Amino acid sequence: MPFAGSIEHVPLEELRWGAPPAPEPTFMRSLKAAFRQDNIVGSILASENLAVPRSDAFHHIDRSYNVFNDIEGYEHHAKRFTHVFNAKAAQVMKTQIDMEEKDRRVLEASGFVRALLTRGTAMILDPTLFIPGGAIMKGERLGQAALKSALRVGAGTGAIEAAHEAGLHATQELRTGETSLLNIGGAAILGALLGGGASAVMTMAERRQMAKVLKEAIKEGFDAEAQALHDEIHHVSSPQSLGAAVAPKATLEDFSIAGNAASKVAKATAQMNPLLRTLQSPSVLVRDIASQMMETPIYLKKNMHGFGDMAAETAMHEYTRGRLAQVLQKQKDLWLETRKAGDILTQKEFNEAVGRALRRLDASEIPGVEEAAKVWRKQIFDPLKERAIKARLLPEDVHVSTAASYFSRMWSRPALEANETKFRKIVKDWLSDEIAVAERKEEARLAKGETQEQTFNFVSDEDRDNYIDTIISDIWAKLTGRDHAQAFESPFVVSKRGPLKERTFHIPDYLVEEFLEHDVELVGRRYARIMAGDIELAQRFGSADMRNTLKNVVRDYEEMRQKIYTDATLTEALKAKSVKALNKRERADIRDLTAVRDILRGQYRPEIQHTTAARLHNAAGSFNYMRALGGMLISSLSDVVRPAMVHGLSAYMRDGLIPLIRRVKAVKMSVEEAKMAGAISEKILASRMATLAEITDPYAVGSPFEHFLRNAASGFTRMTGILHWNDFQKSLSATMTQNRILRNAEAAATKGFDALSPSEKAYMGFLGLGHGRAEYLGKMFKSHGETEGGILVANTQKWGSDEIADIIRRAYRGAINKDVDSIIVTKGVGDVPLFMNTPTGRLIGQFKSFALASNQRVLMRGLQEDKTRFIGGILGMTVIGAFTYALKQMESGREVSDNPGTWVAEGLDRSGIFSVAFEINNVLEKFGYLGLYQAMAAPFRDKEQRTSASRYAVRSNVGSLLGPGFGGVSDMATLLGLPWREMGASDIEAMRRLTPFASLPYFRWFIDGMVMPELKDRIK
């Protein structure tokens, strides 16, 4: 991938093998090498890493063994040995590398024709290219045509190549992520051009019938409301002077959703999430507050005039994603350097050493640890501390009295619960000393004749001990979550009475160090999330708790009620009814605003986040993720169309695809800018997939088993290949977004903001770079930016540190995040119901976040923008959705429908554009109700009439309605009855649904296509 770093190339003469192999190796030798390198089965069978048993000896950490002193001849593969800690594991790694290098040399020496023949044979015979179980070879005309269509565009389309590369990447050492991503991305882009693939499997009569199904979607006037909005954009032109950078006083209309079609969709789905609810509020103040808190991925009417701002949620990403990802990458590099230097530390041990160093003035005997601590201090802890001071969240002379240097406390609940007696004794001794000091100070004051309230009235030593024990119990409850308080920061009041009244829990770190979490990654992630949220809220509303802001909302509603009372045109009955409705709306608005505030601060409903049930639900979520979402990369192929749908096909070619080939250096610079903003961080943070799969939990501490599940889920994500795909698509989108923004800003700086076209003014306002900011951004770009081969790079790091530069830099980075997160759908806090932020809600709504977020970010925004792009996007994403359906059916060994209407329904369903409608429809069809699939299949009466979506084919009824978590419980309950009855085909299906990792494409073809049919036949 040219924008992610150069692909490592080792010249042939530098390899260790000495003389090159024979110029023309035998055909069989070339074929064997090709099968090992390009065929999943061959790669699995040849893998040394999979063949060697993973015994304790293999994983043993030998502290006297430095693997980097034992890799002579393998230096250029040093990173491959990072997780190797003993000689046995090192030898396995060397053997694997030797085999792969030898195979590559054989293929290089085979000549073009022989290499093409052998590698082509290996790839064509790869199981990912076949319908498992032989379905594609059964001779049906549809299957043959589908195969021919696939072969015409190459051995792999994006989805097939994704499964293929994921399997090879999991079993080989020298296959880099960049190489795999290039193969996947290139194949996917070609796959997007398969417009004729679907028509190739239909007769002329069938195509005419399908045209009737699509007729309403392509005829003139299909979306009159969207066209009206499009016309409105082009006619909105109210010339204003450059000085008119401040919007006039906001009205209810300003915060209304632009466009008739989009506003109707918003009204129909308003109860789904707090964003749409608050944008329907009768209070302009509530709408204003909501837009400043939550990222709003849809155009408001004020955006049409070039006005808009950056929400607190969007601004947080610079730290919670951008800086955090950079620090974690730097820390990983330093860990590798430390390993090479001879310090035998696992990554977890290195992280903990960095955490301890941060408590000791960043000092450590290990140079890499010390440097990593300084990076955290410089990039995360100090900047957020300084911004917190400016926001008046911390005093200007803030200092730390409990440790040598500032490092936020995060208590380790497992350590506390495992050593409760020891912890209580340490705290009791410390409290006794604190009381003794307070008593001496009071005696001294009394001796001077100073009068004050008497605070010491212990009648006996037993009374004193009871007082201390009560405090210790309160502290214990807070730190272990039993009273649902936040246990992240150390200062909290330990007592409301007695000698320690209003004192905070400032026990020194060195006394309780064994009970603290030292892993700097865990603490740093949580610190960035909480501090960034508090700072952004405080800057906008005066305080993080928004107390005065919420009081203003109450006053605003009181004024609205007074207007009703004094309205002489209303009857008393109508007044009472209106006031009742207004009171209900006030409660709902305050509930939504306070909930979003707490979510941004990482403390939403803490009383239910630490219970045993919550921990079980979170663990079930991780388990469900690993058993169900192995094929998510294939399902994400429609992302290819989104940049063109938003920015246009010409921009897609000019600013996206062509620069990837011709302007590598410029694209890399643009991508680096987006990384600093936080728009591209998936390979490091995996934040998008974690939020969409509902497996992220800001409150999670957990047991070792819970940590194991989270780590396993993280490894599973990497096995799917989705992280590289997400970063590839976000890189493409970010480059296009930056080009569009900077071109507009440059024009605004030269000719004035009003010189922009109405649609571009609306776009800049939507991103918070409207009047005033666009001109300043243009000036910054002219002074510090550069243009190379049509790629515009802002170079924000060169803008300086003055206040204006900082404001514009953060606004620009926020704009990049907002647009990219909308193009490549990334869930925001306002996109899902509040219920889905609870443990039970996350479990029930698991895997539905994408559908809910797409409602705003794809459908509603699409309705608001260019009609041609929107219709083109529907068609393009539907084609890829239909293609994805066919691949999923092939992968799982199920029949591909011969009904064109089914293909259209599947394509629309999997496109993600009409996601909410299809989610509701699919659940109803699963329970036997009539729905869209039947309606679209019905015109083709001589074809298969399937009753439900293929996405729901393997889901139980319970799982379809209540989510995969409850579906899993239902499956387990079914299997528990096996001792008292005979096993049936449904039991086999339940076992399959409960099998982790079975949904990975390179496993699924075997399990669903071969194992499952065989098991079912034996049951019969």
Retrieve residue 782's tokens.
């002219």
pLDDT at 151: 33
Retrieve residue 542's tokens.
């005066």
Q: How far apart are CA 634 and CA 710, in angstroms?
A: 23
Which 8-state DSSP code applies to residue 606? Answer: G
Contact 757, 237 (CB under 8 A): no
Q: Quick one: which H or E segment has residue 953?
A: none
Contact 850, 911 (CB under 8 A): no
More confident residue, 58 or 370: 370
DSSP notation for 130-198 = S-GGGGGGS--HHHHHHHHHHHHT-S--HHHHHHHHHHHHHH-SS--HHHHHHHHHHHHHHHTT-TTTT
DSSP notation for 659-677 = HHHH-HHHHHHHHHHHHHH
Q: How distant, in Å, are the alpha carbons of 25, 329, 407, 735, 738 from that of 682?
A: 42, 12, 26, 16, 19
- Percent of the chain scoring above 70 in pLDDT: 75
Give the range with max mean pLDDT: 149-153, 176-180, 223-227, 684-688.
684-688
pLDDT grade, residue 1 (50/70/90)? Answer: very low
φ and ψ of 949, to 5 deg: -70, 145
More confident residue, 496 or 197: 496
Dihedral, CA of residue 343, residue 348, residue 353 and residue 355, to nearest 10: 160
pLDDT at 137: 31
Q: What is the 3-state secondary structure (H, E, C) of 849-878?
A: HHHHHHHHHHHHHHHHCCHHHHHHHHHHHH
- For 782, other C-beta atoms within 10 Å of its C-beta total 12
What is the three-class DSSP state of 791? strand
Q: How far apart are CA 652 and CA 735, in angstroms?
A: 10
Retrieve residue 831's tokens.
């996109």
More confident residue, 49 or 210: 49
Q: Is the pLDDT of residue 963 over 80?
A: no
Q: Give the pLDDT mean for 162-189.
A: 58
- Give per-residue pLDDT as tens, 549-603: 999 999 999 999 999 999 999 999 999 999 999 999 999 999 999 999 999 988 8
Contact 893, 924 (CB under 8 A): no
- For 228, other C-beta atoms within 10 Å of its C-beta total 14
CA quadruple 635, 639, 645, 651: dihedral sign: negative
pLDDT at 540: 94
pLDDT at 635: 85
pLDDT at 124: 64
Contact 769, 808 (CB under 8 A): no
- For 626, other C-beta atoms within 10 Å of its C-beta total 24
Q: Is the pLDDT of residue 521 over 60?
A: yes
Q: How far apart are CA 949 and CA 905, in angstroms?
A: 8
pLDDT, mean over the chain: 79
pLDDT at 148: 36
More confident residue, 29 or 9: 29
pLDDT at 494: 67
Cβ contacts of 846 within 8 Å, gap of 6 or more: 621, 624, 625, 693, 694, 963, 964, 965
pLDDT grade, residue 538 (50/70/90)? Answer: very high
Gyration radius of the chain over CA positions? 31
Q: Give the pLDDT mean for 842-857.
A: 87
Retrieve residue 381's tokens.
């802890």
pLDDT grade, residue 482 (50/70/90)? Answer: low
DSSP notation for 410-426 = -B-HHHHHHTHHHHHHH
Give the range with max mean pLDDT: 36-45, 129-138, 281-290, 785-794.
281-290
Which 8-state DSSP code applies to residue 256? Answer: S
Contact 468, 428 (CB under 8 A): yes
pLDDT at 505: 79
Q: Is the pLDDT of residue 795 over 80?
A: yes
pLDDT at 82: 82
Q: How far apart are CA 265 and CA 855, in angstroms?
A: 9
Retrieve residue 971's tokens.
């499956």
Contact 997, 990 (CB under 8 A): no
Closest by CA position to 297, among listed 282, 286, 284, 308: 308
pLDDT grade, residue 452 (50/70/90)? Answer: low
| DSSP E strands, 2-71 | none
pLDDT at 255: 95
